[in-house]
Amino acid sequence: MHLTAALLLAGIASCAAFAGPRTYGAPRAPAALNAERSDANEGDAAMTRRETLAKSLMIGVGAFGTLTSEAGAFPNKISNQYDDRPKQRGSKPKGLGVAMRKNLAGEEYLGLKECGAAPNCFCSNDNIEDSPDTNIPPFKWPASKFSSREEAFQQLHEVVQAYQPGQSNIDGGGFEIVTFDPKSGYIYAQFESLKAGYIDDLELAFVDDGKDSNAVQVRSSSRLGYLDFGVNAKRINFIAKGLREKGWDAPGVLLETHRGYAEENGVKSL
């Protein structure tokens, strides 16, 4: 049996004895997983079944799997100092975009992909009651300012395009907007860490679910590792601040609202 496949099966088998609701804060990631995102800030309690599974799979794939690059370095990176280092960009996640899905309770919903067990992801579709540490409220454009969704997404695109690689000592490897569809209301961008080249994925999408007609669902997630050391939160907060300056209602990630995430990642400020 292939080594990676064997590790995956072993990780799944190790989770059979665990069950219960999702908890944050107490479990700490193994040293190998912490090392995976050691350059992210460039500059004995019970675990749930999902957390144990996530950690086991990350060890099997992250430590022994083949990590390939799907593209070259982003041209807006802040330095060439680490160009000689191998980059661990990982593979583009499956299931991105707006689609009909099922949540953990088995209920169908239209929207972006939910976050997994690891504290390295935020998504507007995550239920705030079930998973407060991964939930991020949607960004809302001022309805009186724009005559169409397309106009609002043009401004959203401008704000994302103005992102500064290296801000808060993150994303020094640069970024790229891969997909921009203002008519449908969708933006997909990739952000890279400077040293090891870890790629995070950001999605901003209008979801026609019959609710708010001026809301943008947000999802920012790491591909590799277990912890993100605050990277996804700081990225969201930078973009949210730029939108608030233009009159949008754009909440960010706060220590008081995402305590479990902050404790798990050892984050003291955002």
The pLDDT averaged over each successive group of 10 residues in the chain (270 residues) is: 43 40 43 47 39 40 38 87 94 96 90 95 91 95 96 98 98 98 98 96 94 95 97 98 98 94 95
Q: Which pLDDT value is given to residue 129? A: 84
Q: Which pLDDT value is given to residue 190? A: 98
Q: Which pLDDT value is given to residue 211? A: 84
Q: Which pLDDT value is given to residue 210? A: 84
Q: Which pLDDT value is given to residue 39? A: 53
* Residue 3 contacts residue 64 (beta carbons within 8 Å): yes
* Residue 172 contacts residue 194 (beta carbons within 8 Å): yes
Q: Which pLDDT value is given to residue 98? A: 97
CA–CA gap between residue 188 and residue 177 (Å, rounded): 6
Q: Which pLDDT value is given to residue 104? A: 81
* Residue 46 contacts residue 25 (beta carbons within 8 Å): no
Residue listed under structure tokens 């995070």? 200
- Taking alpha carbons only, the member of 162, 249, 238, 251 closest to residue 214 is 249
